[in-house]
Amino acid sequence: MRSYCLFLFASYLFIAFSSCKKDPIDTQPDAGPSVSTLHFEAGPTPLEGTLYGEIRGLPANGSVENYGHIWALTSDPLPSLENKIGQTFFNASGNGVFSSPITGLAFGTTYYYRAYIIYEGQLIYSNDVQQFTTESLSPGLAIDTIIPTPDDEYTVRVLVTLSNLNAGIPLQSFGITWGSHQLPEITSDPFVPEQGVPAPDATFQFETEATLPLGDSYLRPFLIVNEDTLYGESRLYHIGNIWSPTANVGGVGRVYAVSFSIGSKGYFGTGNHGNQKLKDFWEYDPQTDSWAQKADFGGGERTAAVGFSIGQKGYIGTGSGTGGRQTDLWEYSPETDSWVQKADVPGAARQNAVGFSIGPKGYIGTGSYFDGGIISTNDFWEYDPIPDVWTQWTDFGGSERSIAVGFSIGQKGYLGTGSGENQRFNDFWEYDPQTDSWAQKADFGGGPRTGAVGFSIGQKGYVGTGSDEIQRKMDVWEYDPSSDSWIQKADFAGGQRTTATAFTIGQSAYIGTGWDGGQGRNDFWEYVP
């Protein structure tokens, strides 16, 4: 029937345009029937309504062949068959008021419309053009709750409320999208859509699930109506306190290795495998989860050294080499994959010291040296790479020790745990380079410990693994400087071990190697707090 009507309409148009002496978009004829454009009546939703018109002047028992309305988004040119976005088309009618139901309108849009008739093959438009504007849609899209699902630590259940709607509005789709940036969109980020339905009421809720990546994700509700995509405010959710295995480091398993990070890459090397001291050096790329071997450490075979980075350079120094304990320091450039020897670390040749950096300076302290026996120290030194100069600062505030942990948070350094004089320590200290002073903080939450690893992510510090007087450990603890407190986090997933190593890239830490009772491990694990 529709095809037949369209055929008749096309035939009428052909007759009208070929036989009418007036321009088809001119005004009413001087004699005969005419058509008027009347009002618009809004429908139950802003996307629908009814247009009215009136046919007059037909002779008794007369009838127009066709009639209806045409609407457009402009009034110049006038709505016509050539300028339209919609049209109704009805067969045969006499004098009187008629109506044209319309749907598929857009929110907050002005439409121009007029009525038309076809009489004796002639297309006749109304002299007057009317207009109407649909309501704007300003729905509320709000995430009410985000809760983890009990059987999957990466999946969350999201409850969303849609409000300020018109009951019956056809919703094409709605759901949530998420990403690492604050304003995710369905055109570029993952999303979970729900099938479109007519809005059951002005306010309703829906629940959906999303599987998120590790770290921070911004979740954002969306609604698609009439091809328009609307968004609500984003909510931040964190998937963390999770360990994930990464690629094993190249080379053999080992203990007492060193590591640091530069930019978006991690660097690892030296250590010992059984009685063999090592000098190989490796770069880790978290984007590809792969290790690439680099130039061997410039100081030769080395174990129990310290490593830290300043800017775009890495540094490894001290430790035990071929001739025993060392004082040398070497600078590594990733750009040239080369090592350059720098000024020796003052003081006694040492191993198992602590090294970290604060801003543009590096720091090395504690460790053990040999003088007729193994002696622990608590001296503390600052390295400035620009003049390549070492300066001695105030000794570490705690007892002499070695195999301790150290890291920096902001403009402060932190050092604690370790062993010395046949005892293990759990004290913990903060260093302020502005005042060259040490302040004792809350004891490490995991108890006396030696051979642990320490690292920082953001404004928090972490210490874990190592060994107490009884066994190797796998617990990990988070330190908050703002509250001077420790809380226990998820155990290291690689199991109990000591003398491992760690570095951080962005919001992730990487811990690997170390001793679990064998000759040394070569596994690495990523931690997102």
Percent of the chain beyond pLDDT 90? 87
Q: What is the pLDDT of residue 61?
A: 86
pLDDT above 50 for 7: no
Q: Where are the beta strands (DSSP E) in 404-468?
A: 405-409, 412-416, 419-420, 423-424, 428-432, 437-441, 453-457, 460-464
Q: How confident is the model at residue 16 (pLDDT cuts 50, 70, 90)?
A: very low
- Give me the mean pLDDT over the 160-186 stretch: 94
Q: What is the pLDDT of residue 15?
A: 29
Tell me the β-bridge partners of 69.
Answer: 115
pLDDT above 90 for 12: no
**CA–CA distance, 65 with 82 (Å, rounded to integer):** 20
Architecture of domain 140-238: Sandwich (2.60)
**CA–CA distance, 438 with 46 (Å, rounded to integer):** 69
Percent of the chain beyond pLDDT 70? 94
CATH topology of domain 242-528: Neuraminidase (2.120.10)
Mean pLDDT, the chain, rounded, equals: 93
For residue 184, cis peptide bond before it (omega within 30 degrees of 0)? no
Residue pair 64/117 in contact by the 8 Å Cβ criterion: yes
**CA–CA distance, 146 with 250 (Å, rounded to integer):** 40
Q: Which residues contact 265 (CB under 8 A, 6 or more apart)?
A: 283, 284, 285, 286, 334, 505
Q: What is the pLDDT of residue 469?
A: 86
Phi-psi region of 429 (alpha: psi -120 to 50; beta: other; left: phi over 0): beta
Could you tell me where in the chain the CATH 2.60.40.10 domains are found?
2-133, 140-238
pLDDT above 70 for 28: no
Q: What is the pLDDT of residue 260?
A: 98
Q: What is the pLDDT of residue 4?
A: 32
Question: What CATH superfamily is the domain 2-133?
Answer: Immunoglobulins (2.60.40.10)
**Could you read off the pLDDT of 123-153 as tens digits, one per residue?**
999 999 999 999 888 999 999 999 999 989 9
pLDDT above 60 for 321: yes
Q: What is the pLDDT of residue 518?
A: 85
Pair of tokens at residue 57: 């002047």
Q: What is the pLDDT of residue 227?
A: 85
Pick the closest to residue 25 from 105, 99, 110, 116 (CA basis).
116
Q: What is the pLDDT of residue 29?
A: 58
Q: Which residues contact 360 (CB under 8 A, 6 or more apart)?
A: 310, 311, 384, 385, 386
How are the residues of the chain apportioned to helix, strand and coil, as percentages rounded to the nearest 5? 5, 55, 45
Tell me the β-bridge partners of 162.
Answer: 141, 204
- Give me the mean pLDDT over the 318-336 stretch: 97
DSSP 3-state of 12: helix
- Give me the mean pLDDT over the 302-307 stretch: 98
- Give me the mean pLDDT over the 228-248 stretch: 96
As a whole number of Å, the CA-based R_g of the chain is 38
Could you tell me where in the chain the CATH 2.120.10.80 domains are found?
242-528
Q: What is the pLDDT of residue 310?
A: 98
pLDDT above 50 for 300: yes
Q: How confident is the model at residue 175 (pLDDT cuts 50, 70, 90)?
A: very high
Residue pair 400/376 in contact by the 8 Å Cβ criterion: yes
Sheet bearing 242-246, strands edge to edge: 242-246, 524-528, 508-512, 501-505
- Give me the mean pLDDT over the 327-337 stretch: 98
SS in 3 state form for 233-297?
CCEEEEECCEEEEECCCCCCCEECCEEEEECCEEEEECCEECCEEECCEEEEECCCCEEEEECCC
Q: How confident is the model at residue 30 (pLDDT cuts 50, 70, 90)?
A: low
**Could you read off the pLDDT of 400-446 as tens digits, one per residue?**
999 999 999 999 999 999 999 889 999 999 999 999 999 999 999 99
Tell me the β-bridge partners of 205.
Answer: 161
Pair of tokens at residue 350: 């040492």
Q: What is the pLDDT of residue 499?
A: 98
Q: What is the pLDDT of residue 262?
A: 98
Q: What is the pLDDT of residue 443?
A: 98
